[in-house]
Amino acid sequence: MDINTLEYAQKLDSQDQLASYRQEFYLPEQKIYMDGNSLGLLSGRAERTLLELLDSWKTLGIDGWTEGANPWFYMAEQLGERMCTLVGGKESEVIATGSTTTNLHQLVSTFYKPSGKRTKILADELNFPSDIYALQSQIRLKGLDPDEQLVRVKSDDGLTLDEKRIIEAMTDEVALIVLPAVLYRSGQVLNMKALTEAANEKGIPIGFDLCHSIGAIPHELHDWGADFAFWCTYKHLNGGPGSVGGLFIHERHFGKAAGLAGWFGSDKTKQFDMDHKMTAAADAGAYQIGTPHILSLAPLIGSLEMFEELGMERIREKSLALTSYMLECIEGELSDYSFGIGNPIDSTRGGHLLLLHEEAARICQALKAEGVIPDFRAPDGIRLAPVALYNSFEDVWHTVQILKRIMKDETYKQFPNERGVVA
């Protein structure tokens, strides 16, 4: 059977053991959602737990901190325990807290201790800008010059990184390493195990940004020996816009003073003593700062249920199957339209694909007009993320067919070749 047919896609869907989870989500009507690596969709379970949390506020008032089905005072720790399997950490090593960038600031302020010749932070030139801004500001706070102290490993193709080059850059001048687990544009999965082993051998603390990897690929942070990691929860974890992030601290660092102290990092039995001398929590909870955003934690209570039921291996298996099928359809249907493939084509890709085209901004607008929700990344990238929990193989087939029609009829030319305010 020809793979570039609706019948073949439907056959794959009939064999999909995760297909029933599609019904858990609110799918946009008459649209194909391919932007789950930017913002995951709302599930009925996430909606339920958010409404339950609202009800606890309504009925319990301040007693909601310690009473009800999900007492607010312990929610960050409980959700951290539930996320630990997604990052390969122990329950005590993970906490739900903050946002991606505030957690990065916390971790860099904790682990970046420039002294002697070790003064530099090693990063890469393809990382998400927010991470780079945070690293630059942390260097300035030490009275140093980011132009001199922030080392960004170069990319040969502007899309991927060579791990050997990263390891070569781990010199005796490097005090800290911060890298993405999955590159946000190309979806390349870095070899975190090898990078961590190299950093450990050289005595350099290393941490990873998991924003595009958590919920998309398995991790083994504890066993690999990573020092720390941080992430958001609104992409593959479907926690909702601005949902609370998370961080991992390897247990060997328990007791290390947080760079940015705040009262929610206290030992919970001591927190309300109101003592001006802080007694920090004995685990990852010590790296919290302020009061948790309870309403932004609540959807995760329901959303994480699905990850616990399925496990990351099954989710990853379907994700690779979806992106493999999309690559096959693209090769068969779009070869005449000057598209480039910006992502690795083997299993070192994450949960999304990157198509390259000089008219990418126009094409994304044309896709939206036809009911396909993609993601534009300047200057020439179209990210497409068929998500294992709610996208189907039929979604993939229709997306490629619509894209082919847009290119064949040149309907994209009616749109300006520029991004929107939010892209």
Please report, for the domain that includes residue 410, its CATH number.
3.90.1150.10
Judge if 261 and 396 occupy the same domain: no
Would the annotation count 110 as a binding residue? no
Query: Is 229 inside any structural domain?
Result: yes
Give the C-alpha separation, 375 to 370, whole Å. 14
The pLDDT value recorded for residue 2 is: 86
Is the CB of residue 192 less than 8 Å from the CB of residue 226?
Answer: yes
Q: What are the strands of the beta sheet with 246-249, ordered from one edge? A: 94-96, 246-249, 228-231, 206-209, 174-180, 120-124, 150-153
Q: Indicate if 159 and 126 belong to the same structural domain.
A: yes
Q: Which residues contact 23 (CB under 8 A, 6 or more apart)?
A: none
pLDDT at 418: 78
Residue 129 is labelled as binding a ligand: yes
The pLDDT-based confidence of 139 (bands split at 50, 70, 90) is: very high
Domain match, 173 and 266 both: yes
80-99 pLDDT, tens digit each: 999 999 999 999 999 999 99
Does 209 show up as a binding residue in the annotation?
yes
Residue 13 among known ligand-binding residues: no
Residue 421 above 90 pLDDT? no
Query: Residues 25-47: what's their mean pLDDT?
Result: 98
Res 82: pLDDT: 98
Q: Does the annotation flag 263 for ligand binding?
A: yes
The pLDDT tens digits of the residues spanning 247-280 come to 999 999 999 999 999 999 999 999 999 999 999 9
> 298 with 317, same domain?
no
Is 131 assigned to a binding site? yes
> What percentage of residues in the chain have a pLDDT greater than 70?
99
Q: Domain check: are 138 and 12 in the same one?
A: no
Count of the separate structural domains present in the chain? 2
According to the model, what pLDDT value does residue 1 have?
73
Residue 386: give the domain boundaries: 6-30+311-414
At 419 the pLDDT is 74
Residue 422 belongs to some domain of the structure: no
420, pLDDT greater than 90: no
237, 100: one domain: yes
Q: Write the burial class of residue 351 (CB in 10 Å: 0-12 exposed, 13-18 middle, 19+ buried).
A: buried
Residues 290 and 352 in one domain: no
Q: 227: annotated binding-site residue? A: no
Q: Is 220 in the same domain as 327?
A: no
Q: Are 67 and 257 in contact (CB under 8 A)?
A: no
**Domain assignment of residue 42, yes or no:** no
Evaluate whether residue 39 is within a structural domain: no
| 423 occurs within a structural domain | no
Q: Would residue 377 count as lying in a domain?
A: yes
At 117, the pLDDT band (50, 70, 90 cuts) reads: very high
CB 352 within 8 A of CB 187: yes
pLDDT at 292 over 70: yes
The structure tokens listed for 352 are: 């999304």
pLDDT of residue 374: 97
- Out of 244, 275, 309, pick the residue that ends a domain: 309
Q: How far apart are CA 263 and CA 231, in angstroms?
A: 22
Q: Is residue 41 domain-resident?
A: no
Residues in the chain, total:
423
For residue 253, tell me if it sits in a domain: yes
Domain boundary among 274, 293, 309: 309
Pair (213, 322) in one structural domain: no
Q: Is 162 a known ligand-binding residue?
A: no
Task: State the pLDDT at residue 422.
Answer: 66
- Tell me the pLDDT of the chain averaged across its residues: 97
Does 90 share its domain with 142? yes
Residues 303 and 337 placed together within one structural domain of the fold: no
- How confident is the model over 144-181, as pLDDT tens digits? 999 999 999 999 999 999 999 999 999 999 999 999 99
Range with lowest mean pLDDT among 57-61, 270-274, 417-421: 417-421
Whether 64 and 157 map to the same domain: the answer is yes
Task: Supply the pLDDT for residue 417.
Answer: 82
Cα of first residue to Cα of last residue in the chain, in angstroms, is 38
Last residue in a domain, options 309, 333, 361: 309
CA distance 56 to 59: 5
Domain containing residue 139: CATH number: 3.40.640.10
Q: Is 291 annotated as a binding residue?
A: yes
d(CA 130, CA 107): 15
